Structure 1
Amino acid sequence: MDTRALSVFLSVAETLNFSRTAENLHMSVSAVSRAVARLEQEVGQPLFDRDRRSVALNHAGREFRDFARRSLADWQQLQRKLDSEGELAGEISLYCSVTASHTFLAPILAAFRASHPAVDIMMHTGDQADGVGRVLDGHDDLAVTIRPLQSPTRLDFLPLVDSPLQFCMPASHCQVRERVLDEQERGEIEWDSLPLIVPERGTTKELLDDWLRDRGIRPRIYAQVAGHEAIVAMVSLGLGVGIAPQLVIESSGLGEGVETVDIENGLPSLSIGLAALRQRLSSPLVKSLWDVAGQTYPGSV
């Protein structure tokens, strides 16, 4: 079975959008459709339920998705074994946030490429809160994410760096900033009435919910957004007080637009690292990147 067609199918299975897959793979929509049609002909039944408005995997499609993932992984491992020089070759799928891609991930990838130049890194970016889910669902081999408060037993986590979780306010003069400064001067911030910009999901949201509940605070939520970078951006515009890791505040390019809010009994530090399915670490490709990450940040392990 054509491994290229399997890759196209897996991309459609992830995006559930033929046009988006065509754009991601630099193909025409008709070429994507033909690749899927050929696979459906080989399988003997449709793999997707689709109409003009939506695309969804059916039962056969979900079964075939598992087969396609295993087949591609086995093919990559076979390629490595057949390499006459024993050099690692193949593809690793990595998910991370934009901030992670150009901060602590950069030296890991530089070291990995120097050691394994024949391995391709397929990077997908988005909200780090989705990282664990993407690994568990098999969309990606590895994800840069915050250590979950409750980690599934089939997931391994490699800590790389710690970053304090911080409240932040606008750095420029505005109503929100003046109010926080006035309340700090009086000795107590009235969190119940401050407009808060918070993550819509993920470990940061869980920690914030615990912090608010322990203090009996019923917050006034101005906005729930996806991604710490978006929170910092909204705070810099003077829309409210936000919460984000110090790493993101300093590296997002918007750090000058916000200022941290000092509080007593502050928020906990976050452990940021790599997540992978334990069974995927049996792959030499995945394990090699995992090991390079640990060697790049040896003090974190």
Structure 2
Amino acid sequence: MELRDIEIFLALAEELHFGRTGERLHITPSRVSHAIKKQERRIGAPLFERTSRTVRLTPLGKQFRDDLLPAYVQIQQAVDRAVAKTQGITGSLCVGYSAPWCADLVFKAAEVFRNRYPDCTVQIQEIQFDDPCGPLRRGELELQVSELPVVEPGIAAGPVLLREPRALMVPADHPLSRRDSVSLEDLADVPLITAGGNVPKSLLDVHIPSHTPTGRLIPRGPSYIFWPEVPPLVAAGLGVSIVAVRAGRYHDRPGVAFVPFRDGPTLDYGVLRRAAGQAPSVPAFVDILRDLADNDDE
């Protein structure tokens, strides 16, 4: 049995869907079906139960998966180590993150990366919104996963990994907290908490805008340096903050409420890296980030 056929079987055993398996492996569903039928002919029994709506492993298929997977992982690790040696993926890689959902993605990617490239260590650190490009410019980081867009000399942006719908974090007793949704035009009626420090204009325009879409001025509230300052400021009634909808699961606390926006673009998060002088480990880590983000269920 060829290694590619084993890979197709294991992918289908995980996805249990011919279309998704084909998309994951960049082949057609018919190619997946052909490979599985060939394996079943060789073994002499079905590995999957197929109906018009479902795909399930047979008991034999489950045993076959469990027997194959450890060996397949060992083969992949051996190939990855050889590639790492050839490409010079050694030493250390310093990666930054901003929002906690970016942290989740970075830490998952780091685990995969360490298993794939054991001769290269990964160091991870949080970056702050008040100086989002500083660590990258100073050479403290090779790449980071943080807010976009960033249009700055010497910094390459992309790919986008997460596109998050917006919400407005408001005081729990504010009239806006009782609404099902808010509009970007509502920002003209509440002070918006701002970020101090050196924030690129491209980020400010999206994440802390100065005017509503119709041109109304958005009043300014207090500023912050570190994100943990924001929820207490909101709870104290000193302002509101534009956040991702999923921030409600990470930053919820007494005194605040999260109301989704019904208009406006998403808040995007992606890779930033130095435009020149990238180590071979950087694109390798980005590839892992992209794969994990593509399979993110959030």
For residue 117 of structure 1, report the CA deviation from its aligned partner: 2.7
SS of the residue corresponding to residue 138 of structure 1 reads coil
CA change 1:182–1:119 in 2 (3 A) is closer
Distance 2:195 2:97 in 1: 16
**Distance in 2 (alpha carbons) for counterparts of 1:105 and 1:160:** 11
Identity %: 17
SS in 1 for 2:257: strand
Go from structure 1 to structure 2 and tell me whether the alpha carbon gap of 1:205 and 1:250 turns closer, same or farther (over 3 Å shift).
farther
1:139 aligned counterpart, secondary structure: coil
**Match of residue 241 from structure 1:** 240
Q: CA RMSD in A?
A: 3.8
Alignment match, 1:160:
161
Aligned mates of 2:206, 2:270 — CA distance in 1: 17
TM-score where L is the length of structure 1: 0.56
Question: What secondary structure, in the 3-state scheme, does the structure 2 residue paired with 1:180 have?
Answer: helix
Instruction: Give the corresponding residue for 2:249.
Output: 250
Q: Deviations over 1:205-263 (max 9, x none)?
A: 212565725333233322122354432343244433221222434324x3675323345
Q: In structure 2, how many angstroms separate the alpha carbons of the residues matched to 1:290 and 1:184?
A: 37
Whether 2:293 is the aligned partner of 1:297: answer: yes
User: Matched residue of 1:130: which SS?
Assistant: coil
- Equivalent residue for 2:284, pick from 270, 284, 288: 288
Q: d(CA) in 1 for partners of 2:85 and 2:214?
A: 63
Evaluate the alpha carbon distance shift between residue 192 and residue 279 of structure 1 in structure 2; reply closer, same or farther with a 3 A threshold: closer
Q: CA-to-partner distance for each residue in 1:66-111, whole Å, 9 max, x for gaps?
A: xxxxxxxxxxxxxx99x98988431112222262564222221121
Say whether residues 1:122 and 2:123 are aligned partners.
Answer: yes
CA 1:103–1:170 in structure 2 vs 1: closer, same or farther (change >3 Å)? Answer: farther
1:271 matched to 2:268:
yes
Q: In the alignment, which residue of structure 2 is the partner of 1:196?
A: 192
How many residues of Structure 1 are paired with residues of Structure 2 in the alignment? 211
Whether the 8 Å CA contact 1:95–1:131 is kept in 2: the answer is no
| Structure 2 unpaired stretches of 5+ | 1-80
Alignment deviations for residues 162-189 of structure 1 (CA, whole Å, 9 cap, x no partner): 1123212133xx3xx1x3358999x997
Query: For residue 206 of structure 1, what is the aligned residue in structure 2?
Result: 205
Q: What residue number does 2:65 align with?
A: none
Amino acid of the structure 2 residue aligned with 1:259: A
**Kept after mapping to 1: 8 A contact 2:166/2:244:** yes
1:155–1:277 Cα contact (<8 Å) kept: yes
Residue of structure 1 equivalent to 2:214: 215
Q: Looking at CA atoms only, which structure, 1 or 2, has the larger radius of gyration? A: 2
- What are the residue-to-residue correspondences of 1:91-102 with 2, within 5 Å? 91-97=92-98, 99-100=100-101, 102=103
Could you tell me how far apart the structure 1 residues matched to 2:150 and 2:85 are?
A: 44
SS in 1 for 2:108: helix
Between the aligned partners of 1:165 and 1:188, the Cα distance in structure 2 is: 10
Aligned to 2:15: none
**What TM-score comes out, normalization by structure 2 length?**
0.57
Separation of aligned partners in 2, 1:148 and 1:166: 18
Deviation at 1:154, TM superposition (A): 5.0
Are 1:170 and 2:168 matched, yes or no?
Answer: no
Q: Does 1:103 align with 2:104?
A: yes
CA distance in 2, matches of 1:151, 1:275: 10
- Residue 261 of structure 1: aligned partner: 259
Question: In structure 2, what is the Cα distance between the partners aligned to 1:196 and 1:271?
Answer: 20
> How far apart, CA to CA, are the structure 2 residues paired with 1:268 and 1:293?
23
User: 2:105 touches 2:292 (CA, 8 Å); kept in 1?
Assistant: no
Cα 1:115–1:193 shift into 2, 3 Å? same
- Residue 160 of structure 1 aligns to a residue whose secondary structure is strand
Aligned to 1:224: 223
**Residue 256 to residue 164, structure 1, CA distance change in 2 (3 Å):** farther
The CA distance in 2 between the partners of 1:184 and 1:88, in whole Å, is 50
Distance 1:84 1:273, change over 3 A: closer
